[in-house]
Amino acid sequence: MMSADKPIVRIQGLQKRFGDLEVLKGVDMGVQKGEVVVILGPSGSGKSTLLRCINRLEQPSGGHIWFEDTEITDPKTNINEVRERIGMVFQSFNLFPHRTAKGNVMLAQQKVMKRDKAEAERIAVEQLVKVGLGDRVDYFPAQLSGGQQQRVAIARALAMDPHVMLFDEVTSALDPELVRGVLDVMKALAAGGMTMLVVTHEMGFARDVASRAVFMDGGVIVEQGTPQEVFDHPQSDRTKDFLGHIR
Amino acid sequence: MIEIGAGGGDATGPGAIDPGEGSSGVSSRIKRTINYALLAVVVIGLLYYVFVPVGPDMIQYTMIGRNDTKTPSTLYLSHKAAFTIGKNADISVPLQGSTALVAATISRTGYQNGVAIWSFKSNEPSTTVTVNGAPAGDGPLPDGAVLGVDDVQMTYNAGRIGFTGFLDRLESDDTAHLFISPAVISGAFPIVAAGFPVSVAFGVLGFVFAIPLGLALSFMKMAKTRWFRWPATFYVDVVRGTPMFLQILIVVFAIPLLPAYKSLLTAYPWLNDAGPLGVSYTYWMRGLVVLSFNSAAYMAEIFRAGIQSINKGQSEAARSLGMTGVQSMAFVILPQTVRRILPTMMSEFILLFKDTAMLSAVGVAEMVQRAREVAASTFNSSSYLVAAVFYLLLTIPLGRFVQSLENRLAVSEGAGGAAAAEVVPVALDVLNPGTVVPHGAVLPGAEKGPETIPTRNGR
C-alpha cells in the first residue's frame, strides 16, 4: 500500500490553541509503520492534545496531519472513515456502561464496519480472549476492575482492525497492581508489529518497548531518539530535569 | 395524610439513619420525626372518633310492649331499619292487623359538643312522644331514657357506635356530611370511576406524544446554530412561564377560531361526535395538544440535562471508533440517558396525570369534572374525596416505584465506579417534585461532579 520509508502518520507544523492558551506550538513528527513511539513530558506539555489531534478529537488550529494517504486536517476529509483505521484508548476507559464487554467490542463493528452480528460477535470474543478476558465476555463494565475495563477498551479498538493505535495515559487511572496486565497486552501488541503512539508515564515500559522516545514540553518536541539516547544521555536540560523528577 | 416525602423510604426506617451523615441528615431526621408524629395524631384522632363514644348517641333501640297483647315483646331496630338514610328515624307502630302507620318521627338534628340533639314530632293528633313518661322536648337524651310513642316504649342505649354507627354519624353531622357523606360518596363512586380511564388516557397519551416533541426541543436547545437554539429556548420559556390553566383556555377556545380548524370540522363532521370513553374527538385533539406541548417543554430540559450529564468521554470513545454523531447519540448516549432520566420522567408523568384535572375547566368529562357535577347536583362536596382517592390510586404506587428505581439506579450505576460509595440514594418527593434531588445530591452514576436533572416545580 505504501513504501516502507513513507511515514504512516506525518505531522507538520501542528498548532492547537484553546482560547488564549497555546498548547501546541508547531509540532513536526513522522511515524513509520510498525514503530512504537512513546511520548513523554510534564503535564500540560501538549502530549495528550497531540494524540487527540491525530484522530481529530481536537480540531487543530494550524498545521497539517496526514494519515496514510489522507490529509486528516483537510476539512473535506470524511473523518469517520479515517477514525475507523485509528484505534484510540483513553485514560478513563470510556467503556459503554449499558453494554457488556462483548457488546462494547461489537457495537462499532456492526454500526461502522457493517459486520453482521455473528461475525462481530466472533471477532469480539476473539479479541477479548486475546487481552485475557475470555471468561468475562458477558460482564458489564461496572462488574470489571479498572484493569479489565481498560483491556476491554483495547479489544474494542483492536476489533476495528486499526492501522495505528493511540494510547492516552492508559494506565494512569489504574491501581498499581492492575497496571501490569494492561502493559502486557500493549507489549504483545507491539511485538505483533502494531504501529503505536503511546503517551505514558511508565518509564520501564517506554524503555523496554519503544522504538523511539519523544520528549515534549511547552507545546514543542524538545528531544527525541531511541529510548537509550533519551533516557540515558538526555541532551536538553528540560529533559534531564523531567527525568530527574520522575525517578 | 400521606407521607411520601424525603422521610418515607421503604427500606430505611427512621431508626436506620447512618450516624455519620451530615447536617442535612439531621434536619431530615427531624422532619421525619415531625411527619410521623403528625401522622400518629391523625390516626389516633380518627380511631377515637370512631370507637370512643362521646355522649349518649346510640343507634340501637329496644321497643317494649304492645298495647293489644300485654305481652312484653322486644323489637331490635338496627339503625338501618329504623333510620332512613338521612337524619330521620321513623318509628312505625303497627296497628290493627298488618297496616303500618308512621306514628311519630324522631330526628337527630345534629350534635352539640359531641352529644346528639334530638327532635320529636308526632304525626297524628292523638299521638304523643314521651321521654321517661313526660312529654318529650327537643334536646339531648340521657342514657337509658325510655321513649314512648303512645303505648309503644323504647329504650335509648349508650355504647360504642362501631363503623356503621360512624358512617351514620357522618351522615347525620350537620358539617361533616357535607364533605364525607357516605351516601353521596357511594353515589359518586361509579360516576367518578367512569372518568378514571379518561384521566389516565389523557395523561398517558399526552406523555407519549410529548416525548418526541421534547426530544426535538432538547436537540434544538443543544444545537450549535442559534436559529435552532433561540426558537426552542423561546418556546420553553413561554410554556414554562405561563400557567397551564391559561394554556388550556387558549388552546381549547382559540384553536376553534382558526379557519383551518373550521374547515377541518366541515370536512370531518364526525370529529364533533363522542369518541372513545365518551369524550368528543375535538376534545381529545385539543386536550392532547395542550398537554403534550406543555409537557414537552419540561421534558426538553430533562432530556438536555440527561444527555449533557453523560460523560464527554462516551461520545469521544464512540467517535474515535468511527461512529457518526448520529450513531453515537443513538447507540451510546441516548440509551444511557434513558436509564438516567427514567425516574425524573416518571415523576413528570405523575405531574402530567394530575394536570389533566385542569381539563375540567373546559368541560372534558374526566374525574374532576364528574366530581364537580355530582357536587353541584347534591350540594355536597363528598364526591371530590372520591376523585382524590382515584388520583392517589395511581400516584402513590408510581411514586413508590420511582423511588425504588432511583435507589436501584444508584446501586447499579455506582457498582464499579469510583463514586460507588458516595452515591446517596436520591429521595424523591413525588407529590412535590420541586424538591426532587435535594441538597444538590449527586446524580447516580454522574462521573463529572454533581449534576442534577431539573424537575419542574409543581404548578
Convert the pLDDT of each residue in B392-420 to its tens digit.
999 999 998 888 888 877 766 654 333 33
B452 within 8 A of B443, measured Cβ to Cβ: yes
| Contact status of A95 with chain B (Cβ, < 8 Å) | yes
Q: Helix, strand, or coil here: B94?
A: strand
pLDDT (mean) for A217-235: 90
Reported pTM: 0.69
Sheet holding A9-18, edge to edge: A21-31, A9-18, A62-67, A70-71
Nearest to A92 among B313, B335, B445 (CB): B313
CB contact under 8 A, B445 and A160: no
CB contact under 8 A, A98 and B313: no
A113 secondary structure, DSSP code: S
pLDDT value at residue B328: 95
For residue A111, the chain B residues in CB contact (below 8 A) are: 323, 327, 331
Give dist(CA B44, CA B64) in Å, integer: 38
Q: Is A78 on the interface with B (CB under 8 A)?
A: no
Contact B148, B67 (CB under 8 A): no
A110 touches chain B (CB under 8 A): no
Q: What is the C-alpha to C-alpha distance for residues B428 and B406, in angstroms, rounded to an integer?
A: 8
Give me A228's grid cell.
537509550
Of chain B, the percentage scoring pLDDT greater than 90 comes to: 36
pLDDT, tens digit (0-9, with 9 covering 90-100), for A75-100: 888 999 899 999 999 999 999 999 99
CA distance B298 to B243: 13
Closest C-alpha to A231, from A51, A32, A208, A218: A208
Determine how many CB atoms are found less than 10 A away from the CB of residue B157.
14
Reply yes or no on whether the pLDDT at B42 is more than 80: yes
pLDDT at B413: 61
* Interface touch A92/B311, C-beta < 8 Å: yes
CB contact under 8 A, B320 and A88: yes
pLDDT, tens digit (0-9, with 9 covering 90-100), for A151-164: 999 999 999 999 99
Whether B331 and A111 lie within 8 Å, measured CB to CB: yes
Q: What is the rounded CA–CA span in Å between residue B25 and residue B389?
A: 32
Quote the pLDDT of residue A161.
93
Under 8 Å between Cβ of B340 and B227: no
- How many Å from the N-terminal Cα to the C-terminal Cα in chain A? 42
Minimum mean pLDDT range among B183-187, B198-202, B392-396: B183-187
Return all residues near A143 (Cβ < 8 A) that are at least 6 apart. B415, B416
Which residues in B have their CB inside 8 Å of a CB on A? Answer: 311, 313-314, 316-324, 327, 331-332, 335-336, 339, 412-417, 445, 447
Q: Which residue has the higher pLDDT, B331 or B149?
A: B331
Contact A155, A131 (CB under 8 A): yes
A55 and chain B: CB distance < 8 Å anywhere?
yes
Shortest distance between the Cα of A244 and any Cα of chain B, in A, equals 32
pLDDT of residue B74: 30
pLDDT of residue B387: 94
Average pLDDT score, chain A: 91
Mean pLDDT along residues B223-231: 92
- In tens, the pLDDT along A119-134 reads 999 999 999 999 999 9
Residue A98 forms contact with B (CB below 8 Å): yes
Q: Pairing between strand B99-112 and B88-95? A: antiparallel
d(CA B317, CA B333) in angstroms, rounded, equals: 11
Q: What is the mean pLDDT of residues B273-289?
A: 88
Read off the C-alpha cell for B350.
405523575
Backbone phi and psi for residue B298, each to the nearest 5 degrees, phi listed first: -75, -40
